[in-house]
Every structure is written in structure tokens, then in C-alpha cells.
Structure 1
């Protein structure tokens, strides 16, 4: 049976930036994946009032992916087109089923790429991965790929992962040096009229400015 390894990197991508692209490309390379799907999320209830509309966010992802010239990166609107509430476990299941049906006799192995912050328990404003809808099924369907973020090092992420390993999750921590970029920092720069060319692809910056995105109130979280 042929095995097909794909990565799934989901997010609100509000906006997508060079840090997201770095993670996607490094996962593609280090894990020897066939493709990485960048899946634009619907509006989570706790962020909905601050997000750019889904179509703009997805257009930015499409432009960002095109700018890399890496054909193995795929901008996916799977969650945007699915009616009702969309959970990560549903997305992973759908991608796995779609690939296996398209490649008869194959087995799709999904690698869910996520930030280390979701491994921390009890932090306000962060939804612990172990509490996600259908978490145990998600652990069966996908191998978790965790990337450090800000002060959360690979060593800290590995320690936090222990609670998920005890539940049967498969976890790999990628020790990446991510650039000091965040979506909130980009928004702050835009509102202040400061440049963002070092943070996003040129096509993403052009789209943001063309449609005057991110000029309203900003959240106090990222």
C-alpha cells in the first residue's frame, strides 16, 4: 500500500505572514511531506469581531502560497465551504478521506502542524489542544507536529506534550527558529502607517492596502 504524507496547517491567517510560510516549508522539507495544506479557518467566536472577512483572509493565503513558488503548498478553503461549525478533526478526516479516495490503494498519513501554545493547560485565552472537539479521534487520525512560539522553546513544548502522549497522541516537536512576526504586530504597524514588507510577501501587502484592511480597533491578544 502506498503511503502519502501530507501536512495540515490551519489558522485564521489574519493576516498570513512569513512565519506561517516558513513553518509550512520547513515541515514539508523535514518531514518529507507530499503537500502541506494551509487551511483558512472560519471565524472563532472569541476573535470574530476583530477578524478580516474570510474571503479576504483566504485570498491573502492564496497570494502568499503563490509567492513562494512551492507547488507543494496548497491554499485550502475546505473549512470556509463546509456548512455549520467546523472543527479541526473534521478537516483532518475530510482531507484524509479525499486523498485516499483520489489515490486508490493508498493510505494518507496526516501531520497536523500547530503552535506550542496550544499544549499549555490552564492559560486564559488559549484553547488547550487536549480539550479540542474530538481530540482523541484527532490523535488517532493525525500525527501532531508542534512548533515553538516566542518564549515557548522546543524543550518546553516537549514537556507539555507529555500529557497528550499519555492519551495516545503522536507528537513531533520541530525546533525551528521562527522570525519575530505576529499577525497582531502586523496590524499594529499597518494602523501606525509603518512598513510591513519584511513580514509578508509583497502580494499580501498589496492586497491589504488595496482593500484598506486592518484599520479598525485591534484586539489585545494574538
Structure 2
């Protein structure tokens, strides 16, 4: 049975925190691959700041140096808001011999009771929680806890830095930084 980690998110933009979490969970749980699944529109947020196309291109650039990292565009192809339960059902149908581990930050662990069809979802997938500053990994839902180096980086912080013309060097992969500059993303419009 192939063991696959799933890291979903807006990735607006993708940053080193995403990559560190993915690699640390992959190694700790001995997973074959991590599938990055960018959402078209997350159900718990307003629309993303950047188009799905640009977010996908940045993510491709961010993960291209790790053969264990794959891009899966299932939620982008669906368009609109995506719920994890729908994505997991499709993945389990397409890959019945795979075991999936859904990686979430501690901020999302606290939000689990609000997830769409959470009681059904926990029967279909194994959640993996990683620590995040300011949050606790406490839930009554089944959860594997993986300790990762804490990098207090968020896409929100990066967008703010970019709008304020502050450096993001060494916080995002060089290829992502270059793509952001070339496309003029996150500039104050």
C-alpha cells in the first residue's frame, strides 16, 4: 500500500514553511510522496489574492527540486470552493490501494470541529498535525502529531512584506521569488 501525504492550501504564495512541513512529515511517517493540493477557493477564507494559475506555477517551482513532492490539481480543476471531504472521496476512489495522510497546521486542528462532514472525513483519512506558534494540537479527533522545526512564516506575512517592498529572500524558494518579481505579483494595486 502506497503511503501519501497531502498538504492542501491556498499557497498564496508557497514558502519554505510549507516545504519544511512536507519534508519533515514525509520522513517522520516514512511516506512515499507528498501531494500538494492547491485549492481554487478555500471554504474558510475569502478569495485568494492571486489567480489559481499563478499560485499553481509558483507551487510547481517551489517543489520541483524534490522528487517526492508532487502537484495535484484536483481542487483547481473543480473550481469554486472545495471541501476536503469531496477531495478525499475522489482520491480514495481513484487510488483505492493508497493510504492518505492529511497534513494540517495547529491552527486548522483547532478548526476541525467546523470542517464539512468531519465525522465522516476522519473515517476516510488520517490527519497529521504539526505545531504552529500560538496554537495547541488539542482535539478529540484522531491525529498523528509530528514535531517540525517551527518557522513562523505565513503567506499573509509574505504578502504584507511584498506590499511594503520588504525582502522575502530566504523565506521563499529563489524560483518563487523570481516568479513573483517577473509577474509583478502582490504589488499594491
TM-score in terms of structure 1 length: 0.79
Aligned positions of 1:154-165 closer than 5 A: 156-157=136-137, 160-161=138-139, 163-164=140-141
TM-aligned CA distance change 1:203 to 1:95, over 3 Å: same
Tell me the equivalent position of 1:220.
Answer: none
Give the secondary structure class of the aligned counterpart of 1:208.
helix
Structure 1, unmatched stretches of 5+, are: 101-106, 121-127, 165-169, 218-222
1:113 paired to 2:103 = yes
Distance in 2, Cα, partners of 1:115 & 1:131: 15
1:141 paired to 2:124 = yes
Distance in 2, Cα, partners of 1:37 & 1:190: 27
Distance in 1, Cα, partners of 2:52 & 2:94: 23
- The alpha-carbon deviation at position 84 of structure 1 amounts to 5.0
- The alpha-carbon deviation at position 83 of structure 1 amounts to 4.7
1:202 to 165, 170, 174: 174
Distance in 2, Cα, partners of 1:184 & 1:85: 20
- The alpha-carbon deviation at position 81 of structure 1 amounts to 0.4
Tell me the equivalent position of 2:87.
Answer: 91
Tell me the equivalent position of 1:174.
Answer: 146
Indicate the structure whose relative CO is greater, using CA pairs within 8 Å and at least 6 residues apart.
Answer: 2
* Contact 1:24 1:36 survives alignment (8 Å): yes
TM-aligned CA distance change 1:135 to 1:196, over 3 Å: same
TM-score in terms of structure 2 length: 0.92
- The alpha-carbon deviation at position 195 of structure 1 amounts to 1.5
* Contact 1:190 1:215 survives alignment (8 Å): yes
Tell me the equivalent position of 1:31.
Answer: 29
* Contact 2:42 2:82 survives alignment (8 Å): no
1:182-220 Cα distance to aligned partner (Å, 9 max, x none): 112211221222221110011101111111111237xxx
Distance in 1, Cα, partners of 2:67 & 2:87: 21
1:76 to 34, 57, 72: 72
Matched residue count: 188
- The alpha-carbon deviation at position 41 of structure 1 amounts to 0.7
1:39-82 Cα distance to aligned partner (Å, 9 max, x none): 0011236321x52111111111111001xx22111111110102
1:64 to 62, 65, 69: 62
* Contact 1:43 1:51 survives alignment (8 Å): no
Distance in 1, Cα, partners of 2:152 & 2:42: 24
Structure 2, unmatched stretches of 5+, are: none
Tell me the equivalent position of 1:132.
Answer: 115
